[in-house]
Every structure is written in structure tokens, then in C-alpha cells.
């Protein structure tokens, strides 16, 4: 086995994920085509709103060395936000690790194309963050102008989200993404979606 790089097939799964075996087959097909050797698997279950450095993927990033490979079904599976994904990719490139995403046929390996791709991701991440921040501030100002109280009211509610209904409605109307709202109120996206449905709130945002 000596002489082969370390190859990790990373699968971030959820209970609704039906493509696990298909994803494994696609990762193996790429590894075999490149003659990379055996693939080690990490199947990480989606869990709350942890940053990537507190998840299992952090241990994988730490273990990989120059010339090793991380193969994923698609780049979006690496993290819950563009910023998270960009941070992981930057850390891997700093160590000389090759990254391949089956969807899009992306290989990030230090080439000019890779550097351009990462630069574009960084730009989109910054734009996304600025837009979310601006929309949130505008929404909260609008609620305050209407005389509505913001923040955490005293006393428990049926759901931890109940006290923030007005804020969440404002965020949704202003186009904030569900993963941003979920992270803001420390719940999972499925929990947020169920709460929105239960309360018959108009959901116009995307995950």
C-alpha cells in the first residue's frame, strides 16, 4: 500500500439522503480511473449548526498531507455555507492536498484554474455575507419602526423559535437564506422548516 497517496471519500449524509451508494460508486470510479489506490471513507451525519472545525471533517483535514486526495460528491457537501467551504478548501490547498468534486468535475490542485475558482468563491462568499447582513439590518429597522419589539422575550414558548417569530418573518421576507436563519437562532434547517410550516408562515427563502 506504500507509494499510494491517502485518499478520503467524504460523504456528508442525512436521513433523507438516498444517493449514498451512488456517491460511493462515483468516488470509487474516479479513484480507480486515476489509479489512486484504496479509498478510506468518512460518512458524517449532518448535525446542527457546528462550524466545520468542530466536526469530523476537521480531523480528516488535519490527517491529510501533501499529495493526498479528498474526494466528495459535490463541493456543497463540505459545509453549511460558502464561507465554511472556502475555509476548508483554503486549508487543504495550504497543505498541498488535492480535492475532487464529482459534480461539476472539479479538481482543485494548485493550478491556475483552481486558483481562479477559489478566488471567485471568495468573492461570492463576501457578497453573500454582505447582502445577508444588509438585509437583516434593514428588516430589523423596519420592525422597530413599526413599533414591534425585537429580541428574546421573557418566558418560555412552545418552540425556542416562537419568541422570534416577527424577526424570522422579516428575515424571510427580505430573502435571508434558511441556513443563515437557522444558524442565527441555533436550530437545524429541518427544525426551522417544520416550525415555519406549523405556523403557516410564508416561506420564500431557499436553504
Residue 151 has what pLDDT?
A: 57
Boundary residue ending a domain (46, 76, 109): 109
Please check whether residue 59 lies inside any domain of the structure.
Answer: yes
Boundary residue ending a domain (109, 140, 156): 109
Considering its fold, how many domains does the chain have in total? 2
Using the 8-state DSSP alphabet, how is residue 15 labeled?
T
Using the 8-state DSSP alphabet, how is residue 164 labeled?
G
* The three grid cell numbers given for residue 108, joined into one nine-digit string: 482543485
CA distances to 55, 83, 125, 164, 195 from 192, rounded to whole Å, are 21, 21, 23, 12, 5
- For residue 91, the domain's CATH number is 3.40.50.1390
Question: To which residue does cell 427563502 refer?
Answer: 205
Residue 122 has what pLDDT?
A: 64
* The three grid cell numbers given for residue 104, joined into one nine-digit string: 461539476
Residue 187 has what pLDDT?
A: 87
- Which residues lie below 8 Å from residue 13, measured CB to CB, with a gap of 6+? 20, 43, 44, 45, 46
Residue 155 has what pLDDT?
A: 45
Question: To which residue does cell 424570522 refer?
Answer: 168
Q: Are residues 102 and 25 in the same domain?
A: yes
Please check whether residue 68 lies inside any domain of the structure.
Answer: yes
Q: Which residue has the higher pLDDT, 2 or 172?
A: 172
- The pLDDT of residue 95 is above 80: yes
Q: Are residues 71 and 143 in the same domain?
A: no
Please check whether residue 188 lies inside any domain of the structure.
Answer: yes
Q: Are residues 96 and 135 in the same domain?
A: no
Please check whether residue 205 lies inside any domain of the structure.
Answer: no
Check: CB of residue 139 under 8 Å from CB of residue 170: yes
Q: Are residues 105 and 139 in the same domain?
A: no
Boundary residue ending a domain (77, 109, 141): 109
Q: Are residues 20 and 59 in the same domain?
A: yes
Residue 171 is part of which domain span?
128-198
Check: CB of residue 201 under 8 Å from CB of residue 178: no
Residues belonging to the active site: 14
Please check whether residue 2 lies inside any domain of the structure.
Answer: no
Q: Are residues 92 and 172 in the same domain?
A: no
- Show the beta-strand stretches assigned E in the chain: 7-13, 40-45, 69-72, 98-101, 106-108
Residue 121 has what pLDDT?
A: 67
Q: To the nearest 10°, the Cα dihedral for 106, 107, 108, 114?
A: -70
pTM of the full structure: 0.59
> What digits encode the pLDDT tens for the residues 28-50?
999 999 999 999 999 998 665 67
For 41-45, 77-81, 86-90, 127-131, which range has the lowest pLDDT when averaged over its residues? 127-131
CA distances to 12, 28, 71, 176 from 25, rounded to whole Å, are 15, 5, 12, 35
- The pLDDT of residue 8 is above 70: yes
Amino acid at each position: 500500500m506504500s507509494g499510494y497517496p491517502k485518499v478520503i471519500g467524504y460523504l456528508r449524509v442525512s436521513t433523507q439522503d438516498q444517493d449514498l451508494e451512488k456517491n460511493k460508486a462515483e468516488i470509487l470510479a474516479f479513484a480507480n480511473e486515476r489509479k489512486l489506490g484504496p479509498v478510506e471513507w468518512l460518512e458524517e451525519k449532518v448535525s446542527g449548526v457546528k462550524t466545520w472545525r468542530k466536526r469530523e471533517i476537521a480531523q480528516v483535514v488535519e490527517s491529510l498531507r501533501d499529495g493526498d486526495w479528498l474526494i466528495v460528491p459535490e463541493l456543497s457537501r463540505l459545509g453549511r455555507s460558502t464561507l465554511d467551504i472556502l475555509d476548508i478548501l483554503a486549508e487543504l490547498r495550504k497543505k498541498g492536498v488535492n480535492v475532487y468534486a464529482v459534480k461539476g468535475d472539479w479538481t482543485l490542485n494548485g493550478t491556475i484554474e483552481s486558483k481562479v475558482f477559489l478566488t471567485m468563491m471568495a468573492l461570492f462568499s463576501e457578497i453573500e455575507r454582505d447582502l445577508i447582513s444588509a438585509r437583516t439590518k434593514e428588516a430589523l429597522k423596519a420592525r422597530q419602526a413599526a413599533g414591534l419589539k425585537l429580541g428574546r422575550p421573557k418566558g418560555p414558548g412552545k418552540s425556542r423559535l416562537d419568541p422570534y417569530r416577527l424577526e424570522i418573518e422579516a428575515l424571510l421576507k427580505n430573502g435571508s437564506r434558511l441556513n443563515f436563519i437557522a444558524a442565527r437562532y441555533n436550530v437545524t434547517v429541518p427544525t426551522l422548516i417544520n416550525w415555519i410550516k406549523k405556523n403557516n408562515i410564508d416561506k420564500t427563502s431557499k436553504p
